[in-house]
Structure 1
Amino acid sequence: MKFTDGYWQMRPGVTARHAVSVTDAVVTDDRVTLYAPVTRVTHRGDTLNSPLLTVECWSPAEGVIGVRLTHHGGRLPRRPEFALTPGGGSGHAKVVREGSTIELVSGELSLRTDTEAPWQLDFTAGGHTLTSLGRRGAGFATDAEERHFMLAQLSLGVGESVYGLGERFTPFVKNGQTVDIWQADGGTNSEQAYKNVPFHLTSRGYGVFVNHPGLVSYEVGSETVGRVQFSVEDQSLEFFVIHGPGPREILARYTALTGRPALPPAWSFGLWLSTSFTTSYDETTVNRFVQGMADAEIPLSVFHFDCFWMREYQWSDFVWDPDVFPDPEGMIARLKERGLRVCVWLNPYIAQKSRLFAEGMAGGHLLKKPDGDVWQWDRWQPGMALVDFTSPAARDWYAGKLRVLLDQGVDCFKTDFGERVPVDVAWHDGSDPERMHNYYTQLYNETVFELLRRERGEGEAVVFARSATAGGQRLPVHWGGDCESTFEAMAESLRGGLSLGLSGFGFWSHDIGGFEGTPTPAVFKRWVQFGLLSSHSRLHGSKSYRVPWDYGDEAVAVTRSFTRLKHRLMPYLYRAALQARDFGTPVMRAMVLAFPDDPACHPLDRQYMLGDDLLVAPVFTEDGTVDYYVPEGTWTQVLTGERIQGPGWRRETHGFDTLPLLARPDAVIPFGAVDGSPEYDWADGVTLRVYAPGDGDSEVVVPVPAPDGSGDAAVFTVRRTAADVVVETGGALPWRVLLVGAAPTGDGVADPLGALYTCPAGTGRLTARWA
């Protein structure tokens, strides 16, 4: 929200007051409370009839410093609040006071102020200032409607770029943008977002989390061009500055505070196929789709039933339409006999015609207006009401309806919607409606995810969620929402996913082929490549099917090839998934996350790193032309073996069987032996693709995880010199080594990509020579 009219004036009706100095400071061993007047105090009379800001500073975890700005402190606490997990216990922070200078130190991060100087809070690390709350940096404003806003402005350095703030489809670098953290169902081609997260990080080595679940309004270099301003309509504003120094470390500390994702089951990484939304379908259609995929030799892992598995006008009642699916239990059993998991669509809304409306109303499970009536409207579903998830009884009631579906054999749920939440309502637990608007999705997805965890077991729970806020990363997976079926929408989807990854979310997907409209064969095939080199992969549309044969024989071949490639990459992808679970590092990584010291990577949003070692540059053109950037070193095209030297930009033209998929210099990438499913023993017959070392010798440790995430099924140590490669492992299973780009020597055999060496079971060591 903008308060000023240019540099000198305020907007009509706006009055702003800012901290100008520190008149008193209360210091303990690990906490500082500053008292800051908003007018200059030269004598006792200046202390009268003027506000005094209270500024509390502390550290909840090493490398993290919290600041709370308060005008009037008498306001009672409001629900909901983000669930935070402070770490490190006591002793990680200290306060040092020397004369008029006060410094709060937490790890390498420090907050410093001088009580005898004009107002200034500096955040420093490594002897450098990261950002500051300087002149007009902390204060409050009121407008013509007598609304009260707390605001803070953190300085931006020259060339500093800002990222994150949720899954945003606007330009990837947020500088120059106004961003409102407010859930909305706006599609992927607007400034609105389904997943709003009041957290940003910058290229200067720090991130900022605003601890407010409601509307947070950002001006990212868009009101004062050298500052990031954030404001809330409240009497208090709390935020945390999180030091890196790199973006991976920032995300690790941020997700330690707000939560890290659960590990999705291995089967969820396979290909999902949907009925699509308003298309005509029944069990015959489903069987035709499933058999068609089998006939085309395209492995399928999950079949998804979208909205019309239920009767029209009755969403949601969680009852299969008997005219279309007369035997749901039998149908699900037959799908499972084919090795498929089953997902069904749901949302948190109850239409008036639904059998659950009267039941929910009688039980007090539906959201009410202040006068006690059930809140309703006619958008989406006639007479629609919302489940009030602030009520434990409502959560149990809703989960009980889903439990019936699990008993029928359903494995997981697509938790759609959750954004259009009214504010003229009264929540069961007394939550503040403005704060609950964004947070509603968290309660909704928690209710469903925790049911799956209880009923299906730890490690088997997965949802396909559209809406989220801070902390939602704990409940994977999320998908990008409603996009058009164009190259432009494909690019904006990737942009949103990379932004979400830099907001702490580890797993992300999108509608392959686009949702609205029908893609051209070229768009479909290129989106298939992108979708199957994503964390999770789903074919889904609105008014048209997304079965590959509808887009030509070549589309079938592309879908088959890239699905099988993804299955062979499972030991590599699951290692990336474990990094998301353990450290908060997303599986799909913006180039700035992987290469923060390369300025050329900072704005890139049309390519990404998939895990540590694979660079993916999707093709967004009809003729197959793609421009992409290669960081320093000798990279290798995974699909062809071509070596590519960086740093520098490349322009290539690709047929539909390839795209830029590059292995990082010095990479050793495990490829599984099975391409027909994501579920198998990844260590049995694994092939290590070993790429030539860069400058000098190198050693890489390559763990191959167990499919249940419980540990490593095998661990390989690969030592490379310019002359040879030595691989050692304690595993008893057979394994292979492919020296990419080398001719075979000794026991090696020729492979299209290099020299292949097979190691029988029990072989713990192999030596091969480059040639």
Structure 2
Amino acid sequence: MKLFAILLMAALMALPSVAQEKEVIATANYRLEIIKKGFRYGFARPDGSMILPPHASSGLVFSGGAAADCARNSDGTFEVVNDRGVKATVEIEAAEYHVRFRVRPQTGTRIVMRTGGVASPSYGLADHAAFGRNTTDVTGYRDDRFRAQEPPGHKRMISNFVIFPRQGIALVNMEKGLKLVRVTEDEIAQGSQEAGEMPAMYYFLGTPEQIYAAFLKARNREGYPVYKPKYEFFGVGWEAFGALGWKTNEKTVTENVEKYLSLGYPLSWMVVGSGFWPNEDPNLCATTSFGLWDKVRYPDPKRFIQHFKSKGLKFFLGLRISFIKDGPYSAEGVAKGYFLKEDGVAKAYKIAFPKLPAYLLDGSNPDAVKWYVGLCQKWMDYGVDGFKEDLFGYGVVRMREGNIDAVNRALMDKGVFIMGRNNYLGSACDVHRFEDFNFDQNQDRGPINGLAFSYSGFPYTYPDIVGGTFGEGRKMPPLNSPRMQTYMMRNARYASVNPSMAVGMGPWNFGSDEVEKVMREAAQLHGRLLPYIYSAAIDAYETGFPWTMAPLPLLFPDDPQVHGRENTTVRGYQWMLGPSLLACPLYGNDYDTANTRDVYLPAGKWMDYDTGTVYQGPRLLKDFPLPVGKTPLFVGGKGVVVETGLNAVVYPVAAGTYRFTHSDGTTRTMITTDARHWDKVQVADITVNQTVHFERDPGSGAIRFLIVPGHDYEIK
């Protein structure tokens, strides 16, 4: 890095400026051009073609004024003066795939960096892209008070990262406070509304793979770490709130989970998120009743939890950082200064849950976080493996982004499983749950939300419980109505091709053999793909690229046909589930009337997962049939899938090498395909130089064989 910086400075000094009006920082990948008047900066390719043009008037606004002029200092920094005479120092770090600006004004708290705009599409913004919007394309988005919990909707998975894959550029202002975001065809701007400096304004340049790799490094560097996820969370889960609502106890939970298992559901995790706390005292009705159980509903919690763990399930409880004012641990938290304060005093807020006023932990206080994690241990002493983090309804609180991340990071550091709902920029959790997704809501929000997560660097999407929650005053038709039956089947098919899925309301409640069959098939598909999906999750963790749910515009940015489809008009909600499977679920508000979709197959060879029919892309399959009984997948890309039991399935669609990561997150197996005559292939374990027995599927021609962890294989 130091050598690169030296070479870069040499290149900068060697480049002539035009009448001293422009400064140019050139690398092998891009040119950063700064017009001194107005500090108007833009990005161009080495051949001079424009990537992102400079702003029409000024590239920097601070201390109540727009940049008027600038000069480069001998140390490489820039001194910028605005039209009010206030100065700011701008440091620029130019690396191979990123440029980092640091802005330090003499005074003032509002800082905005901006360029000219570019034509759509642009993608990202996580939860902010999903509510009140009808497309994943965020062009036209404008919000000068960008923050969590901003209406409409409960926005809690927060990112202000925006990518323009066709232009090969992305940007983000890494800032925990109130932000400004504008993505229009006239202006691309990000800012800090209440900060005295802007320490980490990043632009990333290159291919989408290069951009996400650089974004990953920047997040880890700037204090927004991305954690390695754990295996079981990518399988099929069970949530008590979907199955039983608030009325949970040892008997009802056990009976419900056991019924799912007896029906062949491959459950690997479960959540009891509510009702386990002591219910007779309202001051204890919260997830922070650490170690205190309802003695009537849960008389023997250790035995209860161990029962499920003996069946291979990971057991999770609900968890929030809210402490009821008169709860068992609140006095200690107030005395030691562990809660958020207003005017120097801990304040109990009226938030959505718990129902009584509650203090909120101060995640910026390391001692408070350590204390909280110690309290969590009281739950883990009973055998609890992790938590469903779910603070919500806190819009009244002046809480900086990342307050909950501090707790989740500390728990992840201890190996605790975390289902994340609140998050800023990093990934201190195993899966990313989007907002409650229920029958009486906009069903297009689900796929738009999930894809927006992936664009934003949150690719471990969990699309909430299949079917959502029931009761709570929701307006629903009878469970045995045709519409409800179709809803459950479509929702299950959609969830099955997400990185994680979970069931709740039992399929036996809907009065339909077809519902039971389709939901079971969907869960079994997902469970069968668990090893393959987890391997893709490790690829995402290591590279930054969202391989568990990779939107097609990131994989094929120069193909115009992949853009403009992820919206409520086309409903072309498609993504790569790992490097070998193209997901195309029929979902959206037309779930109960539509039976076909226009499915786009990009360049390459694609095989229908169910029938083995082969198509050559690029090709649009008009009105492609997707009945509720069909698996919404095509095989392509690497053409290799590893299923449960370490069964490798290799399809005759492509040559190349597939890298599989085993459930420990470390051990690798390489599978290389180089077969010109598929009917005459042989499989060899090249680690021990032995021929491997395989079976061939008569329909698809795929071959199936067992693999050994750490061994590599060749098909030719």
Q: Shorter-chain TM-score: what band?
A: 0.7 to 0.9
1:178-189 matched pairs, under 5 angstroms: 178-179=142-143, 180-184=145-149
Q: How big is the alpha-carbon RMSD for the aligned residues of Structure 1 and Structure 2?
A: 3.1
Name the counterpart of 2:174.
211
**Equivalent position to 1:138, from 41, 60, 79:** 60
Distance 2:653 2:346 in 1: 70
Paired residues of 2:651 and 2:702 also in contact (CA < 8 A): no
Query: Are 1:495 and 2:448 counterparts?
Result: yes
Paired residues of 1:735 and 1:761 also in contact (CA < 8 A): no
Distance 1:397 1:173 in 2: 42
Structure 1 residue 108 displacement after superposition: 1.1
Secondary structure at the counterpart of residue 751 of structure 1 = coil
Per-residue CA deviations over 1:378-414 (Å, capped at 9, x if unaligned) read 6432121111222222212211111111111001101
Name the counterpart of 1:751.
698
Per-residue CA deviations over 1:352-378 (Å, capped at 9, x if unaligned) read 242122232233322222142534336
**Equivalent position to 2:538, from 578, 585, 592:** 578
Aligned length: 620
Cα 1:110–1:571, aligned 2, differ >3 Å: closer, same or farther? Answer: same
Structure 1 residue 125 displacement after superposition: 2.4
> Could you tell which deviates more after superposition, 608-617 or 310-319?
310-319
Cα 1:734–1:298, aligned 2, differ >3 Å: closer, same or farther? Answer: farther
Paired residues of 1:155 and 1:227 also in contact (CA < 8 A): yes
Cα 1:602–1:515, aligned 2, differ >3 Å: closer, same or farther? Answer: farther
Name the counterpart of 1:670.
641
Name the counterpart of 1:256.
217
Secondary structure at the counterpart of residue 672 of structure 2 = strand
Query: Are 1:174 and 2:138 counterparts?
Result: yes
Structure 1 residue 711 displacement after superposition: 2.2
The TM-score, its normalising length taken from structure 1, stands at 0.74
**Equivalent position to 1:507, from 460, 469, 481:** 460
Name the counterpart of 1:8.
none
Distance 1:398 1:573 in 2: 32
Paired residues of 2:493 and 2:632 also in contact (CA < 8 A): no
Secondary structure at the counterpart of residue 443 of structure 1 = helix
Distance 2:344 2:338 in 1: 16
Secondary structure at the counterpart of residue 113 of structure 2 = strand
Name the counterpart of 1:24.
none
Secondary structure at the counterpart of residue 53 of structure 2 = strand
Name the counterpart of 1:331.
304
Name the counterpart of 2:507.
548
Secondary structure at the counterpart of residue 403 of structure 1 = helix
Distance 2:217 2:7 in 1: 15
**Equivalent position to 2:525, from 565, 578, 595:** 565
Cα 1:607–1:482, aligned 2, differ >3 Å: closer, same or farther? Answer: same
**Equivalent position to 1:391, from 359, 365, 373:** 365
Name the counterpart of 2:583.
616
**Equivalent position to 1:638, from 606, 609, 613:** 609
Structure 1 residue 322 displacement after superposition: 1.4
**Equivalent position to 1:529, from 489, 493, 498:** 493
Secondary structure at the counterpart of residue 754 of structure 1 = coil
Paired residues of 2:112 and 2:192 also in contact (CA < 8 A): yes
Secondary structure at the counterpart of residue 721 of structure 1 = coil
Paired residues of 1:261 and 1:476 also in contact (CA < 8 A): no
Name the counterpart of 1:594.
555
**Equivalent position to 1:195, from 157, 164, 171:** 157
> Could you tell which deviates more after superposition, 357-366 or 318-327?
357-366
Unmatched 5+ residue regions in structure 1? 1-60, 62-86, 424-432, 454-460, 541-545, 675-679, 694-698, 739-748
Distance 1:304 1:382 in 2: 24
Distance 1:300 1:750 in 2: 27
Structure 1 residue 610 displacement after superposition: 0.7
Structure 1 residue 530 displacement after superposition: 1.8
Q: Which amino acid aligns with 1:437?
A: R
Distance 2:500 2:3 in 1: 34
Distance 1:160 1:764 in 2: 43
1:293-308 matched pairs, under 5 angstroms: 293-308=260-275
Structure 1 residue 754 displacement after superposition: 2.7
Per-residue CA deviations over 1:66-115 (Å, capped at 9, x if unaligned) read xxxxxxxxxxxxxxxxxxxxx99844633234142422234512212354
Distance 2:186 2:344 in 1: 47
Q: Which amino acid aligns with 1:302?
A: W
Name the counterpart of 1:98.
16
Paired residues of 2:672 and 2:714 also in contact (CA < 8 A): no
Per-residue CA deviations over 1:423-443 (Å, capped at 9, x if unaligned) read 5xxxxxxxxx5xx52221222
Secondary structure at the counterpart of residue 31 of structure 2 = strand
Q: Which amino acid aligns with 2:641?
A: P
Paired residues of 1:615 and 1:663 also in contact (CA < 8 A): yes
Distance 1:761 1:239 in 2: 45
Name the counterpart of 1:125.
45
Distance 2:404 2:496 in 1: 27
Cα 1:766–1:343, aligned 2, differ >3 Å: closer, same or farther? Answer: closer
Distance 2:707 2:164 in 1: 49
Paired residues of 1:113 and 1:122 also in contact (CA < 8 A): yes
Per-residue CA deviations over 1:34-70 (Å, capped at 9, x if unaligned) read xxxxxxxxxxxxxxxxxxxxxxxxxxx7xxxxxxxxx
Secondary structure at the counterpart of residue 111 of structure 2 = strand
Name the counterpart of 2:662.
706
Secondary structure at the counterpart of residue 438 of structure 1 = coil
**Equivalent position to 1:311, from 278, 282, 307:** 278
Distance 1:758 1:208 in 2: 44
Distance 1:559 1:419 in 2: 32
Paired residues of 2:182 and 2:190 also in contact (CA < 8 A): yes
Query: Are 1:650 and 2:622 counterparts?
Result: yes
Distance 2:713 2:436 in 1: 51
Distance 2:686 2:215 in 1: 36
Distance 1:112 1:766 in 2: 49
Q: Which amino acid aligns with 2:61?
A: G
Cα 1:758–1:252, aligned 2, differ >3 Å: closer, same or farther? Answer: closer
Distance 1:627 1:330 in 2: 51
Name the counterpart of 2:386.
412
Paired residues of 1:670 and 1:689 also in contact (CA < 8 A): yes
Distance 2:712 2:5 in 1: 46
Paired residues of 1:141 and 1:151 also in contact (CA < 8 A): no
Name the counterpart of 1:112.
33
1:708-747 matched pairs, under 5 angstroms: 708-712=664-668, 714-721=669-676, 725=681, 727-731=683-687
Query: Are 1:442 and 2:405 counterparts?
Result: yes
Distance 2:204 2:163 in 1: 10
Q: Which amino acid aligns with 2:359?
A: A
> Could you tell which deviates more after superposition, 389-398 or 293-302?
389-398
Name the counterpart of 2:120.
160
> Could you tell which deviates more after superposition, 127-136 or 227-236?
227-236
Distance 1:191 1:217 in 2: 19
Per-residue CA deviations over 1:701-724 (Å, capped at 9, x if unaligned) read 123322202221x32221022565
Cα 1:528–1:755, aligned 2, differ >3 Å: closer, same or farther? Answer: closer
Q: Which amino acid aligns with 1:218?
A: V
Cα 1:513–1:701, aligned 2, differ >3 Å: closer, same or farther? Answer: same
1:58-77 matched pairs, under 5 angstroms: none
Cα 1:92–1:604, aligned 2, differ >3 Å: closer, same or farther? Answer: farther
Cα 1:337–1:108, aligned 2, differ >3 Å: closer, same or farther? Answer: same
Distance 1:253 1:523 in 2: 40
Distance 1:410 1:194 in 2: 25
Aligned residues with identical type, % of pairs: 20
Cα 1:93–1:530, aligned 2, differ >3 Å: closer, same or farther? Answer: farther
Q: Which amino acid aligns with 1:581?
A: Y
Distance 1:611 1:118 in 2: 45
Distance 1:330 1:88 in 2: 60
